[in-house]
Amino acid sequence: MTSPHPRIRPEGTAPRRVRDLALAFGFEVTSPAPPHGADVVVSSVASDNRVVADGDLFVALPGAHAHGARFAADAVARGARAVLTDADGAAFLASAPGLVSTPVLVAPDPRAVLGPVAAWVYGTPADRLMTFGVTGTNGKTTTTYQLDHLLRALGWTGGLVGTVEMRVGDRVLPSRLTTPEAADLQALLAAMGEQGVRTLAMEVSSHSLSMHRVDGVEFGVVGFTNLSQDHLDFHGDLQTYFDAKAALFTPAHARRGVVVVDDVWGERMAAAARVPVATVRTRAARPGEAAADWTVTDVVPHGTGSAFVLTHADGRTLRTSTTLPGDFNVANAALAAAMVLEGGAHLDDVVQALAAAGGFSARVPGRMEVVGPGGDGNPRVVVDFAHNTDALELALAALRPTTAGRLVVVFGATGDRDKGKRPSMGAAAVAGADVVVLTDDDPHGEDPAAVRAAVLDGARAAQAVAREAGREVEVAEVAPRAEAIARAVRTATPEDTVLVAGRGHETIQEVAGVDVELDDRVEARRALQQRAGHEGAKDERTTTA
Ligand X SMILES: Nc1ncnc2c1ncn2[C@@H]1O[C@H](COP(=O)(O)OP(=O)(O)OP(=O)(O)O)[C@@H](O)[C@H]1O
Chain contacts with ligand UAG (rule: CB under 6 A): 1-2, 47-50, 61, 63-66, 68, 71, 177-179, 181, 205, 207-208, 211, 231
Distance in angstroms (rounded) separating the CA atoms of residues 209 and 136: 12
Least distance in angstroms from the C-beta of 368 to ligand X: 6
Residue type (1 letter), 186: Q
For 501, phi then psi, to 5°, come to: -120, 150
| 91-130 footprint of ligand X as x/- string (CB under 6 A) | ----------------------------------------
Measured from the CB atom, the residue of 132 and 385 that comes closer to ligand X is: 385
Binding of ligand X by 542 (CB under 6 A) = no
Q: What angle do CA 385, 387, 393 make, to 5 degrees?
A: 95
The answer to whether the beta carbons of residues 387 and 368 sit under 8 Å apart is: no
Binding of ligand X by 222 (CB under 6 A) = no
Contacts of ligand X in 475-534 (CB under 6 A): 504
Binding of ligand X by 328 (CB under 6 A) = yes
Instruction: Select the binding partner of residue 208 from ligand UAG, ligand X, none (C-beta < 5 to 8 A, by kind).
Output: ligand UAG
Tell me, by CB under 6 A, how many residues bind ligand X: 23
Q: How do 378-384 and 277-281 pair as beta strands?
A: unpaired
Segment interacting with ligand X (CB under 6 A) among 66-74, 109-117, 386-394, 473-481: 386-394
User: How many CB atoms sit inside 10 A of residue 520's CB?
Assistant: 27
Measured from the CB atom, the residue of 105 and 386 that comes closer to ligand X is: 386
Measured from the CB atom, the residue of 495 and 515 that comes closer to ligand UAG is: 515
Instruction: Select the binding partner of residue 499 from ligand X, ligand UAG, none (C-beta < 5 to 8 A, by kind).
Output: none
Segment interacting with ligand X (CB under 6 A) among 2-10, 133-141, 169-177, 519-527: 133-141
Distance in angstroms (rounded) separating the CA atoms of residues 428 and 270: 28
Binding of ligand X by 332 (CB under 6 A) = yes
Tell which one of 154, 182, 391, 451 touches ligand X (CB under 6 A): 391
The answer to whether the beta carbons of residues 213 and 180 sit under 8 Å apart is: yes
Peptide bond between residue 480 and the one before it cis (omega within 30 degrees of 0): yes
Least distance in angstroms from the C-beta of 500 to ligand UAG: 19
Instruction: Select the binding partner of residue 141 from ligand X, ligand UAG, none (C-beta < 5 to 8 A, by kind).
Output: ligand X
The answer to whether the beta carbons of residues 173 and 165 sit under 8 Å apart is: yes
Instruction: Select the binding partner of residue 403 from ligand X, ligand UAG, none (C-beta < 5 to 8 A, by kind).
Output: none
Smallest CA-to-CA distance from 29 within 54, 20, 37, 182 is with 20
Least distance in angstroms from the C-beta of 357 to ligand UAG: 28
Distance in angstroms (rounded) separating the CA atoms of residues 45 and 47: 7
Least distance in angstroms from the C-beta of 208 to ligand UAG: 5
Measured from the CB atom, the residue of 113 and 335 that comes closer to ligand X is: 335
Distance in angstroms (rounded) separating the CA atoms of residues 113 and 57: 13
Q: Where are the beta strands (DSSP E) in 396-456?
A: 407-411, 435-438
Distance in angstroms (rounded) separating the CA atoms of residues 378 and 376: 6
User: How many CB atoms sit inside 10 A of residue 346's CB?
Assistant: 11
Distance in angstroms (rounded) separating the CA atoms of residues 473 and 325: 24
Beta bridge partners, 133, equal 202, 222
Least distance in angstroms from the C-beta of 220 to ligand UAG: 21
Binding of ligand X by 265 (CB under 6 A) = no
Beta bridge partners, 256, equal 221
Distance in angstroms (rounded) separating the CA atoms of residues 183 and 174: 16
Binding of ligand X by 149 (CB under 6 A) = no
| 28-67 footprint of ligand X as x/- string (CB under 6 A) | ----------------------------------------
Name the percent of the chain in helix, strand, coil, to the closest 5. 40, 25, 40
Binding of ligand X by 412 (CB under 6 A) = no
For 114, which DSSP code?
A: H
- Please identify the residue of the shown chain whose CB is closest to the bound ligand UAG: 63
Alpha-carbon distance values, 317 to 20, 133, 327, 351 (Å): 51, 24, 19, 9
The answer to whether the beta carbons of residues 418 and 229 sit under 8 Å apart is: yes
Instruction: Select the binding partner of residue 166 from ligand X, ligand UAG, none (C-beta < 5 to 8 A, by kind).
Output: none
Instruction: Select the binding partner of residue 226 from ligand X, ligand UAG, none (C-beta < 5 to 8 A, by kind).
Output: ligand X
Annotated binding site: 136-142, 178-179, 205, 213
Q: Is the dihedral of CA 354, 356, 362, 368 positive or negative?
A: positive
Measured from the CB atom, the residue of 249 and 328 that comes closer to ligand X is: 328
Segment interacting with ligand X (CB under 6 A) among 14-22, 74-82, 383-391, 480-488: 383-391
Distance in angstroms (rounded) separating the CA atoms of residues 234 and 237: 9
Q: How do 305-312 and 317-322 pair as beta strands?
A: antiparallel
Measured from the CB atom, the residue of 225 and 378 that comes closer to ligand UAG is: 225
Measured from the CB atom, the residue of 113 and 501 that comes closer to ligand X is: 501
Tell which one of 43, 49, 85, 138 touches ligand X (CB under 6 A): 138
Tell which one of 102, 146, 163, 414 touches ligand X (CB under 6 A): 163
Distance in angstroms (rounded) separating the CA atoms of residues 296 and 311: 7
Measured from the CB atom, the residue of 89 and 372 that comes closer to ligand UAG is: 89
Residues engaged in binding ligand X (CB under 6 A)? 136, 138-142, 163, 178, 203, 225-226, 328, 331-332, 367, 384-386, 390-391, 394-395, 504
